[in-house]
Chain A
Amino acid sequence: MIINHPILGPRDAQEFVYLGDANLINRPDGMSAGIEAFHDYLYNRDNPAGEHRELWYHEQGDRSWLVVTRNTVTHEITKVELARDVARAGGRSK
């Protein structure tokens, strides 16, 4: 597979490490959310046959975490974003 890195351009997937569902970005606040919310966050995942947003880490590259939108059936990649941008767009800050 080739991942079109938003900064570095097309890179072979061998350079990356896969983590999983990009929903991992949406970590609840530990001081206000309880066990139930964390349980849901950590363990409950969708497993779609089709479009999936997922986290990839450019370990053999510039260490960017990316959100890759990939079709799990065809492996077509339709969007690649910096995870930091996605996190900020979702309201995450400090």
Chain B
Amino acid sequence: MSQSNRIAGGQIDRSQTFRFTFDGQAYAGHPGDTLASALLANGVRLMGRSFKYHRPRGPISAGSEEPNALVQLRSGARQEPNTRATVAELFDGLEATSQNAWPSLKFDAMAINDKLNTFFTAGFYYKTFMWPAAFWEKVYEPIIRRAAGLGALTKAEDPDEYDKGFAHCDLLVIGAGPAGLMAALTAGRAGARVILADEDFRMGGRLNAETFEIGAMAGADWAAGIVAELAALPNVRLMNRTTIVGAFDHGIYGAVERVSDHLAVPAAGKPRQTLWRIYSRRAILAGGATERPIAFENNDRPGVMLAGALRAYANRWGVAAGDRVAVFTNNDDGLRTARDLQAKGVNVAAVIDSRQGGDLLPGIRHLQGAQVVDSAGRLGLASVTVRLANGRTDTIACTALGVSGGWNPNVNITSHHRSRPEWREEIAAFVPGAGGPANLAAAGAAGGDLSTHGALASGQAQALAALESLGISAKASDLPQAEDAPIAISPLWFVHEGKGRAWIDPQNDVTVKDVKLAHKENFTSVEHLKRYTTLGMATDQGKTGNVLGLAVMAELTGQSIPATGTTIYRPPYTPVAMGTLAGRSRGKEFKPFRLTPSHKWASEQGAVFVEVGNWLRTQWVPKLGETTWRESVDREVLATRKSVGICDVTTLGKIDIQGTDAGAFLDRVYCNTFSTLAVGKCRYGLMLREDGMVFDDGTTARMGQNEFVMTTTTANAVTVFRHLEYCRQCLWPDMDVQLISTTEAWAQYSVAGPNARKLLQKLVDQDISDAAFPYMGAGNITIQGQRGRLFRISFSGELAYEIAVPTRYGDALIRKLVEAGKEFDAVVYGTEALGVMRIEKGHVAGGELNGQSTALNMGLGKMVSKKKDAIGMVLSSREGMNQPGGYRLVGVKPVDPKGSISAGSHFMEIGAPVELASDGGWLTAKVYSPHLGCDIALGYLKAGDQKIGRKMRAVNFLTKTDTEVEIVSPHFFDPEGERLRG
């Protein structure tokens, strides 16, 4: 087949030929073609199968409203399902395949659904698959999923990139038809910053599809001239292949630019698509209108299409959709199709005009007062049956039928803020209603001005109004002469004759019968109608079918269309790929890692890393010969407790707090007191939420009279800082206190173990003996002349320090510490060993700081001072949070030292039934203690403080463990704290 349906004219480049395939068959087309126009040119009408009944389908439109011609493009990792052939721009080598058909598009086994249509009526999901409930997941859903559905996803990763873009303008013009071009021209000439966006690859809108003249030239040429003038204006940005998908708050519009969809592979460095966020001061919707069909029996055969589409294929693409065409219309616009095709030498079999009277079209069989009542043809239209005005029927052979039921303004975007469209009787269509997005006005067909002159005039008028409101002076120019025909429509929604199915929403297979059934079963409101029948819920969002469906319902209920109302539209205007929404935030870029200053060094040592929030931290550092992580962790713990260990603690949040009220401020945000802290000392602080639950903990040091350094947990660094700013600005605005986050400014290492001091004294210039730098001391130091900070604090229970240097010296310091530690057999330990040592000491951390625990639960109740006001002080005294039998932090050991316990286990009394009523609390964290030679754990146990020494069971259904345990003090190791004061 070689472009047998190609006729003269059109805006395609015949000097160049593109080769492409559809279901493996090779075809030819030209630059400027869409996949649909090229297939039609090659005589291919059958392009898909419908969702539910698997009916053979061809394109009904020539635009983004297309419900039928959904195909799969490309292959391999670039395979893309559910693409509308009517907007897929042809390129050389394009591979397209049909979908939702098996084994082939021409013989689809699932077309059996069509024979079972009485079973698949409206609400069939609700009625059929109700019982038995167990069948839903196992039987019904898999069957439905297999039978219904559209294209298939490739499981391969998309090789293309997607970008995010940000643009600003005075005026955004949505749509580049006559109204949009005129609006952009008016604003562009006035010097305003203009963005003109159009979903098509060729700007001009309907002017490209019509034979109208503007001034003395063809409409398409006039459009090309205006586009050229706009392109030359530096203040105008033209964005073709760009769909405005949504109107968001405050003049922000979302747009998808298909940068490379028209190419086999994106050019180097170019994204496939870009998701734009356009910030506009004013916007004009000039998105045109969409034609709607008239429903009649078997109106879904390939070859039956919208009259305006039939005309567009002929005028823009030089394609006769059939060798013998007919038109079925209820308005004058449909007559244009017959005239245009006749002028192009296409055989026009008849015009079936539902209206009586008026002028007859010359040279065409113009049947007035007639209706198409049925169609015939296997896999495509062969003839239509017409009920003539005199009551007789006639069968008219034709391979294409253009149907025009009138035009619906594309009001979609005006509904994105829930404005309801209003009915305008003279054009028998909905137009934008009041209360749409602020600073958005509609022009041209989108606003109900359906003539070309009306479009030019309203485009200019709306642009002038927008400019005036922005204080930009502009002047009206003389409008060129253009077509200004009245719409002349006599509404006809569906043909009443016939017992068969007449399609309203072809993608979801919703027919007039389904609407009648919904009416019979009292689902008469538009919102119920939509959900019961799935009308308009397919990927095309009912652009062609919605108004038709509710008009049928209006007729059935005897109400007017405005009284029946309409559903409204949500973003996106057309489907948006997930990859486009994700942009570059995928894989490694979805959540970038933060790396500590010792990361490079640790990588060199073969450290194993763990994600902690956004950070990567050393989890343990395996040594040669170690085969399990436990070997490494046990070694790190024992070596630290025996001599000295080094750990990167940079990830802890660090906040500098300065000002004359800094101490008083800390008293308000910590439940314990800090204003009394001596300069050069640190203190453990517990921070509560206002509801009395523990928010965070950490150590805060007083570096000077008005200068503190706070540390937070790694996880809460951001939220604590936010909270402190809130306290400072909102609660106590006159406190003299300033905050700055220094988390990333300081590299900080913990040096812990009996030899910690000896090691550090080799590097620190000052005397750090116990007398000069006692337990909980803090101060500024120098390390071989370089400034740093030293804190004598311990999380491990050992004699320990945290030493900090500016981040850029962090790598140097870890290397120096390790070097200096060699004589002490120093180890570097990771988060696992850190966890072991903190649990041996009974310090709370992530598992205990769970947002549901009070200071009392943690055994820290005495820290909550009642002598001063602090966040959470009042509500932590609530009765329910202070019950004697409440949860208390306890230590747990297995009775048999070889016994294994698992975190998350629940405490049960021995002998009690294992059920919720016996639940005594849970294990929050568990480790193996190499020091004690057994598993140890922390947990919250009801009345735990009174149960020390008791034996209980630790039961875990997930790990299927049930271990007899002994409740002990949470301080497993050196309970008197002698080591850390050493």
* Contact call B870/A65, Cβ cutoff below 8 A: no
C-beta contact mask, A72-90 vs B, less than 8 Å → 1, else 0?
A: 0011110000111001100
Q: How far is the CA of A87 from the CA of B725 in the complex (A)?
A: 13
Would you list which residues of chain B between 699 and 750 have a CB under 8 Å from chain A? 718, 722, 725-726, 729-735
* Contact call A65/B731, Cβ cutoff below 8 A: no
Counting from the closest, the 8 A-B pairs by CB-CB distance are: A30-B869, A2-B250, A93-B734, A84-B733, A1-B249, A87-B733, A65-B729, A75-B249
In the complex with contacts A35-B875, A39-B875, A94-B729 CB distance below 8 A: no
* Contact call B726/A65, Cβ cutoff below 8 A: yes
In the complex, chain B residues whose CB is within 8 Å of the CB of A92: 731-734
* Contact call B279/A93, Cβ cutoff below 8 A: no
* Contact call A93/B729, Cβ cutoff below 8 A: no
Say if the beta carbon of A8 comes within 8 Å of chain B. no
In the complex with contacts A59-B722, A83-B729, A35-B735 CB distance below 8 A: no
* Contact call A19/B726, Cβ cutoff below 8 A: yes
Would you list which residues of chain B between 233 and 251 have a CB under 8 Å from chain A? 248-251
Which size bracket describes the interface of A in this complex? 35 or more
Q: How far is the CA of A59 from the CA of B735 in the complex (A)?
A: 21
Q: Please name the residue on chain B nearest to A30 by beta carbon.
A: B869
* Contact call B733/A2, Cβ cutoff below 8 A: no
A-B contacts, 16 listed (Cβ < 8 Å): A1-B250, A1-B252, A25-B730, A27-B690, A28-B874, A29-B869, A35-B874, A42-B690, A55-B726, A59-B722, A74-B438, A84-B730, A87-B733, A88-B734, A93-B732, A94-B661
Q: How far is the CA of A35 from the CA of B731 in the complex (A)?
A: 18
C-beta contact mask, B750-785 vs A, less than 8 Å → 1, else 0?
A: 000000000000000000000000000000000000
Say if the beta carbon of B816 comes within 8 Å of chain A. no
Say if the beta carbon of B873 comes within 8 Å of chain A. yes
Would you list which residues of chain B between 873 and 900 have a CB under 8 Å from chain A? 873-875, 877-878
In the complex, chain A residues whose CB is within 8 Å of the CB of B417: 74
Q: How far is the CA of A81 from the CA of B875 in the complex (A)?
A: 30
Shortest CB-to-CB span from A23 to chain B, Å, is 11
Q: Please name the residue on chain B nearest to A89 by beta carbon.
A: B733
Say if the beta carbon of B691 comes within 8 Å of chain A. yes
In the complex, chain A residues whose CB is within 8 Å of the CB of B691: 42
Q: How far is the CA of A77 from the CA of B877 in the complex (A)?
A: 39
In the complex, chain A residues whose CB is within 8 Å of the CB of B249: 1-2, 13, 75
In the complex, chain B residues whose CB is within 8 Å of the CB of A24: 730
Contact among A1, A38, A55, A93 for B875, CB-based, below 8 A: A38
Number of interface residues of B (CB under 8 A): 31
C-beta contact mask, A18-52 vs B, less than 8 Å → 1, else 0?
A: 01000011011111011100110010000000000
Show the binding face of A for B, using Cβ within 8 Å: 1-2, 13, 17, 19, 24-25, 27-31, 33-35, 38-39, 42, 55, 57, 59, 63-65, 74-77, 82-84, 87-88, 92-94
Given contacts A59-B722, A77-B250, A83-B730, 6 further A-B contacts (CB under 8 A): A2-B279, A30-B874, A42-B691, A55-B726, A87-B730, A93-B734
* Contact call B730/A65, Cβ cutoff below 8 A: yes
In the complex, chain B residues whose CB is within 8 Å of the CB of A42: 690-691, 875
Shortest CB-to-CB span from B436 to chain A, Å, is 11
C-beta contact mask, B153-188 vs A, less than 8 Å → 1, else 0?
A: 000000000000000000000000000000000000
Shortest CB-to-CB span from B592 to chain A, Å, is 15
In the complex, chain B residues whose CB is within 8 Å of the CB of A65: 725-726, 729-730
In the complex, chain A residues whose CB is within 8 Å of the CB of B661: 94
Q: How far is the CA of A57 from the CA of B726 in the complex (A)?
A: 8
* Contact call A27/B734, Cβ cutoff below 8 A: no
In the complex, chain A residues whose CB is within 8 Å of the CB of B730: 24-25, 55, 65, 83-84, 87
Q: Please name the residue on chain B nearest to A33 by beta carbon.
A: B874
Q: How far is the CA of A34 from the CA of B734 in the complex (A)?
A: 24
Shortest CB-to-CB span from A50 to chain B, Å, is 15
* Contact call A25/B725, Cβ cutoff below 8 A: no
Q: Please name the residue on chain B nearest to A90 by beta carbon.
A: B733
* Contact call A27/B250, Cβ cutoff below 8 A: no
Q: Please name the residue on chain B nearest to A59 by beta carbon.
A: B722
In the complex with contacts A57-B726, A65-B726, A92-B733, A38-B874 CB distance below 8 A: yes
Shortest CB-to-CB span from B674 to chain A, Å, is 16
In the complex, chain B residues whose CB is within 8 Å of the CB of A55: 726, 730
Q: How far is the CA of A92 from the CA of B279 in the complex (A)?
A: 38
In the complex with contacts A55-B730, A87-B731, A38-B690 CB distance below 8 A: yes
Q: Please name the residue on chain B nearest to A66 by beta carbon.
A: B729
Shortest CB-to-CB span from B569 to chain A, Å, is 18
Q: How far is the CA of A76 from the CA of B438 in the complex (A)?
A: 9
* Contact call B874/A34, Cβ cutoff below 8 A: yes
Shortest CB-to-CB span from A15 to chain B, Å, is 13
In the complex, chain A residues whose CB is within 8 Å of the CB of B870: 30
